[in-house]
Amino acid sequence: MGDLSVTSKGQVTIPRDVRQKLGIRSGTKVRFRLAGDHAELVRVSAPATVTASGFGLLKSKRRSVPADFDAAAVLAGK
């Protein structure tokens, strides 16, 4: 693991191997605590697990298609 740079907003990217080992993913709550002359990162809580189907995982800015939409009718020119 190499040295990391801190952005002007005080942000640092946690290396992938560290995130994987600690189970840190998007939405995970972490806490920093001072321990002498260094800081420790502690995982406080993990986000809810994603269901096996993944349904609802992705969000779209497009309007939804009506339930009675018939693609075959559109292709047939009706």
- The predicted-structure confidence for 2-52, as pLDDT tens digits, reads as follows 899 999 999 999 999 999 998 888 889 999 999 999 999 999 987 776 666
pLDDT confidence band for 61 (50 / 70 / 90):
confident
Q: Which domains does the chain have, with CATH numbers?
A: 1-48 (2.10.260)
HEC assignment per residue over the chain: CCCCCCCCCCCCCCCHHHHHHHCCCCCCEEEEEEECCEEEEEEEECCCCCCCCCCCCCCCCCCCCCCCCCHHHHHHCC
